[in-house]
Structure 1
Amino acid sequence: MRLRALLDTDALGLKLLGGEDELDRTVRGVMTTDLRDPSRYLSGGELVLTGLAWRRDAADSEPFVRLLAQAGVAALGAGEAELGDIPDDLVLACARHRLPLFAVHESVAFATITEHVVRQVSGERAGDLAAVVDRHRRMMTSGPAGGGPDVVLDLLGSDLDLRAWVLSPTGRLIAGSKVGGPALAPEVCAKLAAEHLTAARTGRRGPHRLPLGSTQYSLFPIRSTGRSAQAARDVRETVLSEWLLAVEADASDWPEERLDLLQGVTQLIAVERDRRDAARTVRRRLAQEVLELVQTGAAPAEIAARLRVAAPVLLPGLGAAPHWQVVVARVEWEGGDIEEEGPIAQSLLEEILVDPLATGPEPSDRIAVAHTGDEAIALVPLPAVSSEHDGSETGILADALLDSVRDALSAGLDGDGRVTLGVSAAVHSAEGLRGALEEARHARRVAAARPGRVCAAGHQELASHVLLLPFVPDDVRRAFTARLLDPLRDYDRRHRAELIPTLEAFLDCDGSWTRCATRLHLHVNTLRYRVGRIEQLTSRDLSRLEDKLDFFLALRMS
């Protein structure tokens, strides 16, 4: 489409401020940004929409416009909602670089312009298929009855023979084509998500290509059109929450028309993403209200009343939830230059708590996540346990929580970020929520003391020596373990005596000579000789509980 056609559309409310001689330029797409340098996301021919949040003073306009002109964008649309009238310095900069400039009235949403441009460009370049996709975009925006992104992906499969899937940053399958073959395996989803996050952190322009075995995949980012995404100035603010479109094809030799169509599809799916985020607003507000009551020491009766309001939303048809769990998450970046890490952790925790085997955009509609300061706090209702339950622990288990998402998230954290989570035990009433919150926070601190980019700890570890070990200073650890274990290690190196493995097995067998000898495939006399050598080298007595405990702790800290 031509720029001139935008001016002829009254519903868009655009006013031309400069560049009348350039109105025959072709618009190939649209991008919304408030980055100071968005050039790495531009491929040329875009209508760039901006709320001017990047402009701090008049000197910022010239470099911003110069970058857009060098990237070959078609025009710039500046919103009036932030500053009112468009600044003269921006008008002059656009004139110098012959970049058409439109003022976007504050009553017109950028999403309205985006949808109009996508519809027009898709219709011109992809013919009937894009028109069908657009019809489904309207169905998607009207609600779940439209079929969601699955319908669009099925169209890609049937009309263009392209199998495609929408994945979350944790590798969860959100939607996928049912045409032409089976769904993606979970391990493939995790690898695709990890590659996408790695590429996003390094700033590489999509689509990103990834060969897995004999299959080539092309990965297209799905960027939210919401205001929070527009205002993000650092890729770390959005990288852990953006979806991606994975296509089973090598896009390196695609014609421009097909690339444009896929970019249009990602924008249509972004509409579904924004709709899902909007649907979470009620649950987030409920969690925030309950959290404020718990943290301010409100009476249990007041908290219980709020939970009775929340339960029908979180557990539709089940009435009040008999059990609740609390999960606390924190995302930390080295350097500390992210203004608010709480919302980042909130979006990520909402995704982590989704069952990895669940599909679709809204399987987390029974989870309410709030954020306070730099942490996110999830209120997770648990359904009633039947009388036939075997007594094993129910609900969320810290050990299993991150198994399916750890690899992908580690790629997104890219060496300078950490995700730590703590999980409380289930509580049966409002009186227990405050304790559950503190328990989850303590567990998260235990997780934070461990090595690794993605760590979680549960309430079980708060009643064990495991709680204490991470907080022992490093110099104390080294001195304690060296005094007890270094003589054994030196002896093992010189004589290959395997004293350390023998000590570990002896303690694991609770000092039982017979069981330990059986485990190590040794004669009991040989085992007694080795234990005697351990005692001789360390001046300890393994028949004494205190010495056994010292050895046990030294092995755990080594």
Structure 2
Amino acid sequence: MQVDHLLRLDRLDLSLVWGDRALLAQEVGGVTATDLEDPARFLESGEIVLSGLVWWSGEDDPAKAERFVSALSEAGAVALLAGEETHGEVPRAVVDACRRHRVALLAVPAHTSFRAVTEAVYLRRWGELSRRPTDHYALPENVRADLDRALERGASVAELLDRAFAHLGTPDCHLLTGSGRTVARTAGAAELPAHRAAELLRGVRGTTVRVEADDDTAFDAWHLHLPEEGRVPPRVLHEIAELLGRHRRREDRRRATRGAASAELMAAVGAAHADANRLHAALAACGLGDGRAYTVVVAGLVPGGGLGKAAGSGVPSASGVPSASGGPAGAGAAGAAAGAKAGAGAGVGETDGAAALAEALGHLLPATVASVVAGCPGGEAMAVLAHDEGAGPELRAVLGEVWPLVHACRPAAALHAGVSEAVTTPAALNAALAQARYALAAARAAAPTGARLAGLGDLRGLDSLVAGIPAEVREVYRETVLGPLLGPGRASHATLLETLEVFLAHNCSWARTAEALHLHVNTVHYRIERVEALTGRDLSRLDHKLDLRAALLCR
């Protein structure tokens, strides 16, 4: 385990304060927690050091930070993980000392316990040990042989999970995604609502081991969660997770073979002119040919997060531990789904956007919905859902409920989606795509830096309606209506624009506008008259007010 692996564990929410690539690539051999001013005699080479910085006070001179960090450096510590709870941030003197002595420095937020960090390190090291060549296994030989046979014949993940834990008395165990979707559970484990499962993954109770994939994201990673701590030995859990990783790798290969069909469907839906025959063939190739109605969803993700956060790597979990190698999870969508990573060579943003959308669709019941997800350039993704007539509103409601849970997997990112109205013929999919893109633009306008999923029913105001208009059209309209006020020639024009905006926002009330701008009412009258003269609009007319309001929204 290397230092930078800790930064990829979203559940820990660590951030990099200082450290270069060489320092972050150092191997972690253990953990020591200390708040002694001089911890040298308790440290060993290769350890990370956890400190709440209780020994530091705002009045301390830099010498105290120098003494503490130099002790770490001389002992061979690979990183300092400094808690932010005591001081609200890592003191500058500590940062400077780490830079001088070349000790990687990570900040631990107040909501992350040192115990969680310690568990993450040691459970990860258990996993690495379990993957080393050895003649000794934690799982009994007959259990391993039975699981291997089940895997070879294509057993479901639910069957594999039951068989893996049967010799342990079948303890309660859930295989969960970061958004709380239950992939599988042991026979006696109770069904978990998504919001409850997500809370368990982000809690401190129980044991959680990640089924690590080669190219997974925060959205589609799998986690084994057991509510009872210590019920199953860590090495046994890691061997089971490794088996599930092999299952994922096989499933991803199968999905990858359908990547071309998925791409063809998206191309047919997005074509300038609808080709009914092409659409019918593309739907059939993806297993969606029997749909009685179709809905299109378009999603976009803008990565965020502080320095040192590995975009899309790791998912919140009780231990925060990547454990067993495996393949990507694929789309995670119900029914006949092409994987979110089916397109080879997809960029990071593209993969994350498709994985987020596919994870949300995975919460829909596979018995009633089939879907195909494909990544698009720029971090966007598109999905086509096939379902029964009349199911559209219910699907929209479920997606709206789970969208915040999906966003919580990457809370620093902006995650938006637009959902079309249901259409009943393949030829109408082109129009449905246009609707979804319009709704996506409205979602972005409503929550630019957060998360929002919108449908056409959410276009309830002029601002959301204008947001879906193509940018080039908005620009032309803005120039046409407000052109005389937009030129760089006169600074007073900016004042006129501000006055117009406040005047319209206050329902064209002269007195309230004057109060808001701290002006005499006569000054407001003069400025509005200038706006009318320059734009040719009469603000006593409703249609002209709407013209100017729409033009302001197009800026």
Q: TM-score, normalised by structure 2?
A: 0.52
Work out whether 1:169 is the aligned partner of 2:178.
yes
Counterpart for residue 136 of structure 2: 124
Task: Tell me the CA shift for residue 70 of structure 1.
Answer: 8.7
Task: Tell me the CA shift for residue 450 of structure 1.
Answer: 1.4
Counterpart for residue 221 of structure 1: 210
Note the 1:392-541 alignment, pairs <5 A. Answer: 394=392, 397-406=395-404, 408-414=405-411, 416-451=412-447, 453-462=450-459, 465=462, 467-468=464-465, 480-482=504-506
Note the 1:55-94 alignment, pairs <5 A. Answer: 67=27
Looking at structure 1, the residues matched to 501 and 152 of structure 2 have their Cα atoms a distance apart, in angstroms, of 58
**Is contact 2:359-2:406 (8 Å) kept?**
no
Corresponding residue SS for 1:124: coil
Q: Deviations over 1:22-77 (max 9, x none)?
A: xxxxxxxxx8xxx99447789xxxxxxxxxxxxxxxx98x868753789999xxxx
Task: Tell me the CA shift for residue 247 of structure 1.
Answer: 0.8
Q: Deviations over 1:497-531 (max 9, x none)?
A: xxxxxxxxxxxxxxxxxxxxxxxxxxxxxxxxxxx
- Compared CA separation, residues 478 and 172, structure 1 to 2 (3 A): farther
Looking at structure 2, the residues matched to 441 and 480 of structure 1 have their Cα atoms a distance apart, in angstroms, of 29
Counterpart for residue 258 of structure 1: 233
Looking at structure 1, the residues matched to 196 and 264 of structure 2 have their Cα atoms a distance apart, in angstroms, of 39
**Is contact 1:325-1:423 (8 Å) kept?**
yes
**Is contact 2:274-2:430 (8 Å) kept?**
no
**Is contact 1:332-1:418 (8 Å) kept?**
yes
Counterpart for residue 325 of structure 1: 295
**Is contact 1:221-1:245 (8 Å) kept?**
yes
Gaps of 5+ in 1: 1-30, 43-58, 74-113, 196-209, 230-237, 386-391, 492-543
Within the candidate set 383, 387, 392, 1:378 is matched to 383
- Compared CA separation, residues 275 and 486, structure 1 to 2 (3 A): farther
**Is contact 2:151-2:160 (8 Å) kept?**
no
Q: Deviations over 1:198-219 (max 9, x none)?
A: xxxxxxxxxxxx35xxxx3222
Looking at structure 2, the residues matched to 65 and 467 of structure 1 have their Cα atoms a distance apart, in angstroms, of 47
One-letter code of the match for 1:166?
L
**Is contact 1:382-1:395 (8 Å) kept?**
no
Counterpart for residue 261 of structure 2: 286
- Compared CA separation, residues 175 and 477, structure 1 to 2 (3 A): farther
One-letter code of the match for 2:207?
S
**Is contact 1:304-1:429 (8 Å) kept?**
no
Task: Tell me the CA shift for residue 138 of structure 1.
Answer: 4.0
Work out whether 1:139 is the aligned partner of 2:150.
yes
Note the 1:11-26 alignment, pairs <5 A. Answer: none
Counterpart for residue 351 of structure 2: 343
Counterpart for residue 309 of structure 1: 284
Task: Tell me the CA shift for residue 171 of structure 1.
Answer: 0.7
Give identity over the alignment, percent. 19
**Is contact 2:161-2:185 (8 Å) kept?**
no
Task: Tell me the CA shift for residue 412 of structure 1.
Answer: 2.0
Corresponding residue SS for 1:334: coil
Task: Tell me the CA shift for residue 159 of structure 1.
Answer: 1.2
Looking at structure 2, the residues matched to 133 and 41 of structure 1 have their Cα atoms a distance apart, in angstroms, of 31
Counterpart for residue 245 of structure 1: 224
One-letter code of the match for 1:243?
W
Looking at structure 2, the residues matched to 40 and 221 of structure 1 have their Cα atoms a distance apart, in angstroms, of 15
Looking at structure 2, the residues matched to 427 and 378 of structure 1 have their Cα atoms a distance apart, in angstroms, of 14
**Is contact 1:322-1:428 (8 Å) kept?**
yes
Task: Tell me the CA shift for residue 241 of structure 1.
Answer: 1.7
- Compared CA separation, residues 190 and 486, structure 1 to 2 (3 A): farther
Looking at structure 2, the residues matched to 134 and 119 of structure 1 have their Cα atoms a distance apart, in angstroms, of 19
- Compared CA separation, residues 297 and 481, structure 1 to 2 (3 A): closer
One-letter code of the match for 2:380?
E
Corresponding residue SS for 1:370: strand
Note the 1:92-107 alignment, pairs <5 A. Answer: none
Work out whether 1:366 is the aligned partner of 2:370.
yes
Looking at structure 2, the residues matched to 135 and 478 of structure 1 have their Cα atoms a distance apart, in angstroms, of 73
Q: Deviations over 1:320-374 (max 9, x none)?
A: 4343221101111138997531221112212211245x4xxx7798211112202
**Is contact 1:352-1:401 (8 Å) kept?**
yes
Looking at structure 2, the residues matched to 486 and 153 of structure 1 have their Cα atoms a distance apart, in angstroms, of 72
One-letter code of the match for 1:369?
V
Task: Tell me the CA shift for residue 274 of structure 1.
Answer: 2.5
Task: Tell me the CA shift for residue 484 of structure 1.
Answer: 6.8
- Compared CA separation, residues 284 and 446, structure 1 to 2 (3 A): farther
**Is contact 1:162-1:248 (8 Å) kept?**
no
Task: Tell me the CA shift for residue 156 of structure 1.
Answer: 2.7
Looking at structure 2, the residues matched to 41 and 466 of structure 1 have their Cα atoms a distance apart, in angstroms, of 38
Note the 1:1-40 alignment, pairs <5 A. Answer: 37-38=4-5
Q: Deviations over 1:151-181 (max 9, x none)?
A: 43464365156321001222111111223x5
One-letter code of the match for 1:132?
V
Corresponding residue SS for 1:329: strand
One-letter code of the match for 2:451?
V
Looking at structure 2, the residues matched to 268 and 365 of structure 1 have their Cα atoms a distance apart, in angstroms, of 29
**Is contact 1:136-1:152 (8 Å) kept?**
no
- Compared CA separation, residues 363 and 298, structure 1 to 2 (3 A): same
- Compared CA separation, residues 334 and 64, structure 1 to 2 (3 A): closer
RMSD: 4.7
**Is contact 1:399-1:458 (8 Å) kept?**
no
The structure showing larger relative contact order (alpha-carbon pairs under 8 Å, at least 6 residues apart) is: 2
One-letter code of the match for 1:292?
A
Looking at structure 1, the residues matched to 435 and 150 of structure 2 have their Cα atoms a distance apart, in angstroms, of 45
**Is contact 1:165-1:175 (8 Å) kept?**
yes
**Is contact 1:149-1:272 (8 Å) kept?**
no
Looking at structure 1, the residues matched to 279 and 139 of structure 2 have their Cα atoms a distance apart, in angstroms, of 57
Corresponding residue SS for 1:468: helix
Looking at structure 2, the residues matched to 365 and 400 of structure 1 have their Cα atoms a distance apart, in angstroms, of 12
Corresponding residue SS for 2:218: coil
Task: Tell me the CA shift for residue 423 of structure 1.
Answer: 0.9
